[in-house]
């Protein structure tokens, strides 16, 4: 890219700037000198000088300008600004309403959320209570079943014991009878009536 004097070093830029200022000052001086030297000296310097033609011209130009701009520029601009303000007020009111609606909705959602949380807490508490009750019930049932089982076992044992005892008694009795029979056989052979009495007495004792 081609480099200009303004892209070069700051020192060069300063020199260029100083040169430009010097040239500008010289031009101003030259113009002022030439202008002052070339003009005639018939002008007056009276700021309060009344110029009727300029006054009428100014009045005409200014009043026409007021009328034209009021009709085609500033009048429509004032109406456009009023319309814009009206639209902005409406937008602001709509935004406020939307904001209020959103806040109300948010409040509703918060209430529903709170209610839901409360419901969840209640459900969890109920579930815990139900689970605890069920667990207790299961334990109770198990205990009851175990007790029943034990009672049944005890009963079975008792029954078995009784049966066993009876069998033992029967066997014992039979053995005793056999033994006694053998003994008594020898005695019966001596007294047969005594034999029957002895057997009955022995059986009664065994069965009690």
Partner 1 sequence: MSGELVNMAELSRHVSDGSEYHLPQFLGSHLELPTICGVQLTRFMVVELAVALLMILLFVPLAWKMKSGKPLRGRFWNLLEVFLLYLRNEVIVPSIGKKDADRFTPYLWTLFFFILFCNICGLIPWFGASPTGALATTAVLALTTFGVLVGSGMKKFGVAGFWKGQVPSMDLPVALAIFLKPMLFVIEVVGLVIKHVVLAVRLLANMFAGHLVLAVLLGFIAATADKLILWLGVTFASVFISLALNVLELFVAFLQAYIFTFLAAIFIGMAQHQH
Contacts to partner 1 by CB under 8 A = 24-26, 28-29, 31-39, 41-55, 57-59, 61-66, 68-70, 72-84, 87
DSSP states of 147-204 = HHHHHHHHHHHHHHHHHHHHHHHHHHHHHHHHHHHHHHHHHHTT-HHHHHHHHHHHHH
Supply the minimum distance, in Å, between the C-beta of residue 52 and partner 1. Answer: 7
Supply the minimum distance, in Å, between the C-beta of residue 9 and partner 1. Answer: 26
Supply the minimum distance, in Å, between the C-beta of residue 91 and partner 1. Answer: 12
The residue (of 1 and 36) whose beta carbon lies closer to partner 1 is 36
197 vs 134, 190, 201, CA distance in Å? 66, 14, 6
Supply the minimum distance, in Å, between the C-beta of residue 28 and partner 1. Answer: 5
Q: Are 155 and 148 in contact (CB under 8 A)?
A: no
153 vs 5, 42, 148, 150, 158, CA distance in Å? 119, 150, 8, 5, 8
* Euclidean distance between CA atoms 80 and 87, whole angstroms: 10
The residue (of 72 and 109) whose beta carbon lies closer to partner 1 is 72
The residue (of 29 and 159) whose beta carbon lies closer to partner 1 is 29
The residue (of 23 and 98) whose beta carbon lies closer to partner 1 is 23
* Euclidean distance between CA atoms 30 and 38, whole angstroms: 12
Supply the minimum distance, in Å, between the C-beta of residue 118 and partner 1. Answer: 50
Q: Phi, psi at residue 73, to the nearest 5°?
A: -130, -70
Supply the minimum distance, in Å, between the C-beta of residue 24 and partner 1. Answer: 8
The residue (of 64 and 94) whose beta carbon lies closer to partner 1 is 64
Please measure the distance between the N-terminal and C-terminal CA atoms of the chain and give it in whole angstroms: 136
The residue (of 42 and 189) whose beta carbon lies closer to partner 1 is 42
């Amino acid at each position: 890219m081609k480099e200009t004097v303004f892209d070069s070093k700051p020192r060069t830029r300063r020199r260029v700037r100083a040169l430009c200022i010097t040239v500008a000052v010289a031009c101003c001086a030259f113009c002022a000198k030439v202008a002052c030297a070339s003009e005639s000296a018939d002008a007056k310097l009276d700021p309060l000088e009344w110029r009727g033609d300029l006054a009428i011209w100014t009045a005409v130009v200014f009043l026409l300008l007021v009328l034209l701009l009021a009709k085609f520029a500033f009048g429509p601009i004032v109406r456009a600004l009023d319309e814009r303000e009206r639209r902005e007020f409406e937008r602001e009111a709509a935004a406020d309403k939307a904001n209020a609606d959103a806040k109300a909705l948010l409040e509703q959602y918060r209430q529903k959320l709170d209610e839901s949380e409360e419901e969840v807490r209640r459900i969890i508490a109920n579930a815990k209570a139900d689970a605890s009750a069920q667990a207790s019930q299961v334990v109770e049932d198990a205990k009851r079943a175990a007790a029943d089982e034990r009672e049944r076992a005890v009963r079975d044992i008792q029954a078995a014991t009784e049966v066993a005892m009876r069998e033992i008694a029967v066997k014992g009795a039979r053995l005793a009878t056999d033994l006694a029979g053998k003994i008594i056989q020898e005695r019966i052979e001596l007294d047969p009536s005594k034999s029957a009495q002895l057997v009955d007495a022995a059986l009664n004792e065994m069965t009690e």
